[in-house]
């Protein structure tokens, strides 16, 4: 490995043995079993890549793809089954924050304990102690046993210890979103500071906005195998396809806008169809005159996905079957944040879209087209089919929080959505005293 390479991963494999019962494990350990009594599970399968000095590399993938496993092997928490890992530089890892803390020790004692475990002398920790305590900002609680801390105070101190030891290589696993919003801002500021200093960063996150914003290169893992490697935009686009299991043909069908053969057939008697993962805890109710049997979102290219880019057009589609005659139905959507606050939404009545009366057995598709101006983050989509019967408002079918939407953003502003402001800056009075007209 040359001096320009910080981390080198070569044909890395991690295999676990899955036994049907504990006695099978014991038989093998004692050498009593002549046949294989376990199933091999590959957490990682022949993965190779390298990270150059000063580079920020992101690793993304679905749950169970091997992201955290590979970080734990790099940091020595786990050992590989085969392959080679070579690291050139001192590592600080933000994995399981506070994993090495002794709950009976005070915060100060744990700072020295963790610093020693990382390889620092007492004198070196002394030099960094003020920075650590200032970053953690938990006041006199540093002199109290850690077991008395709130969860927020605990992660603040753990993060402060890990981030203030001046590493050459920083490894981060979903650790930048700890604490309150102000502490998170401090964490991201420190992260930016590390990048500007030319530190090497290996970054695992489900936050695709952060991956797109901070990373020079991204690696996509799928079921323990390296599926792709390249620029953030290219790999995130591939990940969006992977999330919904779409191949090229399926993607093409999803963006055509036509009702597919499956949609033309009889929909299932209960439950929703579609390639996107639906919320199993969806709140569903209504009088039953109509039924929403399929929902999906799509990006500006028409590809079915729930990972969408801020500033781009996107589509919300709902497919409805009518079980009774309905006069002038109303179709609606609402987007809420994860705390349940309704951010935006509309319906065919607000938009003055004429909708014809429906007969029992009719099936229609409704598509909402809009530009995504929400801030980067995760949101919940709700859909509804309502209307009036003999002058009374009726709910035919509603699905609350049926689907999640992830907004990828290169720029966030204040609040829930972006006003798309255009800013001009011009002098009113110049240094020479002249006043502009």
- Who wins on pLDDT, 183 or 325? 325
Question: What pLDDT score does 162 carry?
Answer: 79
Residue 251 Cα to chain centre, angstroms: 22
Burial class (CB in 10 A: 0-12, 13-18, 19+), 154: buried
d(CA 142, CA 349): 58
- Identify the pLDDT of residue 413: 86
Domain segments of the chain as ranges: 5-241, 256-408
Select from 68, 72, 52 the least CA-distant residue to 60.
68
Spell out the residues 6+ positions from residue 288 whose beta carbon is closer than 8 angstroms to its own: 323, 324, 396, 397
Note the CATH architecture for domain 256-408: Distorted Sandwich (2.70)
More confident residue, 4 or 258: 4
Q: Which range in 79-88, 113-122, 257-266 is most confidently predicted, on average pLDDT?
A: 79-88
Hey, which residues does 435 pair with through a beta bridge?
429
Model confidence at 58, pLDDT cuts 50, 70, 90, reads very high
Least confident of 184-193, 265-274, 321-330: 265-274
Q: Measured between alpha carbons, how far is 437 from 434 in angstroms, rounded to an integer?
A: 9
Residue 334 has pLDDT above 70, yes or no: yes
pTM score > 0.75 for this model? Answer: no
Q: Which of 58-62, 134-138, 158-162, 415-419 has the lowest mean pLDDT?
A: 158-162
For residue 31, what pLDDT band results from cuts at 50, 70 and 90? confident
Buried residues in 356-390 as b, exposed as e (16+ CB within 10 A): eebeeebbbebebeeebebbbbebbbbbbbbbeee
pLDDT at 248: 42
What is the tens place of the pLDDT at every residue in 336-361? 988 788 899 999 999 999 999 999 99
Cα–Cα distance between 237 and 240 in angstroms, integer? 5
**3-state DSSP assignment of residue 429:** strand
Residue-wise pLDDT for 137-174, tens only, equals 899 999 999 999 988 888 888 888 878 877 889 888 87
How confident is the model over 320-330, as a mean pLDDT? 94
**For residue 175, what pLDDT is reported?**
64
pLDDT at 159: 83
SS3 track for 121-174? CHHHHHHHHHHHHHHHCCHHHHHCEHHHCCHHHHHHHHHHHHHCCCCCEEEEEC
Q: What's the rounded mean pLDDT across residues 74-86?
A: 92
- pLDDT classification of 213: cutoffs 50, 70, 90: confident
Query: What whole-number distance in Å separates Cα of residue 307 and Cα of residue 300?
Result: 11
Nearest to 171 by CA among 207, 210, 216, 202: 202
Reported as a single tens digit per residue, the pLDDT across 221-243 is 999 999 999 998 889 888 877 87
Please say if the pLDDT value at position 250 is more than 80.
no
Q: What is the CATH number of domain 5-241?
A: 3.40.50.300
Report the pLDDT value the prediction gives residue 179, as an integer from 0 to 100: 64
370-409: per-residue pLDDT in tens? 999 999 999 999 999 999 877 788 999 999 999 999 999 9
Taking residues 96-123, report their average pLDDT.
83
* Secondary structure class of 330 (helix, strand, coil): strand
Strand ranges in 213-252 using DSSP code E only, listed in sequence order? 217-222, 225-230
Instruction: pLDDT band for 270, please (50, 70, 90 cuts).
Output: very low
Return all residues near 375 (Cβ < 8 A) that are at least 6 apart: 310, 407, 409, 412, 413, 415, 416, 417, 418
Helix (H) or strand (E) holding 23, with range, is helix 22-30
CA of 123: how far to CAs of 93, 145, 426, 437, in Å?
Answer: 22, 23, 52, 62
Whole-number percent of the chain with pLDDT over 70: 89
Q: Is the pLDDT of residue 257 over 70?
A: no
Residue 390: what pLDDT?
75
Which range has the worst mean pLDDT, 167-176, 242-251, 262-271, 283-292? 262-271
């Amino acid at each position: 490995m040359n001096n320009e390479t910080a981390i080198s991963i070569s044909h890395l494999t991690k295999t676990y043995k899955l036994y049907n019962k504990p006695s099978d494990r014991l038989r093998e350990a004692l050498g009593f079993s002549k046949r294989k009594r376990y199933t091999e599970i590959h957490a990682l399968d022949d993965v190779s890549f390298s990270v150059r000095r000063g580079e920020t590399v992101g690793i993304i993938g679905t749950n169970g793809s091997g992201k955290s496993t590979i970080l734990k092997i790099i940091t020595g928490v786990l050992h590989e089954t085969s392959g080679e890992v070579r690291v050139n530089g001192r590592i600080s890892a933000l994995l399981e924050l506070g994993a090495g803390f002794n709950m009976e020790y005070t915060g100060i004692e744990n700072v020295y304990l963790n610093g020693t475990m990382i390889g620092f002398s007492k004198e070196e920790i002394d030099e960094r102690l003020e920075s650590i305590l200032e970053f953690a900002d938990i006041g006199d609680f540093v002199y109290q046993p850690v077991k008395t801390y709130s969860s927020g105070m605990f992660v603040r101190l753990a993060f402060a210890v890990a981030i203030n030891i001046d590493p050459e290589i920083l490894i981060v696993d979903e650790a930048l979103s700890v604490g309150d919003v102000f502490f998170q801002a401090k964490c991201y500021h420190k992260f930016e500071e590390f990048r500007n200093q030319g530190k090497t960063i290996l970054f695992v996150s489900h936050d695709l906005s952060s991956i797109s914003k901070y990373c020079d290169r991204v690696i996509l893992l799928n079921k323990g195998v390296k599926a792709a490697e390249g620029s953030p935009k290219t790999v995130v686009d591939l990940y969006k396809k992977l999330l919904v299991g779409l191949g090229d043909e399926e993607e093409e069908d999803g963006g055509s806008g036509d009702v597919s053969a499956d949609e033309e057939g009889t929909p299932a008697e209960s439950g929703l169809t579609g390639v996107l993962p639906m919320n199993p805890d969806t709140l569903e109710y209504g009088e039953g005159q109509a039924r929403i049997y399929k929902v999906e979102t799509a990006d500006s290219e028409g590809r079915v996905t729930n990972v969408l880019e801020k500033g781009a057009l996107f589509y919300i589609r709902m497919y409805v079957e009518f079980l009774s005659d309905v006069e002038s139905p109303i179709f609606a959507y609402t987007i809420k944040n994860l705390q349940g606050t309704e951010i935006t939404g509309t319906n065919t009545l607000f938009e003055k879209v004429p909708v014809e009366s429906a007969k029992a057995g009719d099936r229609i598709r409704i598509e909402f087209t809009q530009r995504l101006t929400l801030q980067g983050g995760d949101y919940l989509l709700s859909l509804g089919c309502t209307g009036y019967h003999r002058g009374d408002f009726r709910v035919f079918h509603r699905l609350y929080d049926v689907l999640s939407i992830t907004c990828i953003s290169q720029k966030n502003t204040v609040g829930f959505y972006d006003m798309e402001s255009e800013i001009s800056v011009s002098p009113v009075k110049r240094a020479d005293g002249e006043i502009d007209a």
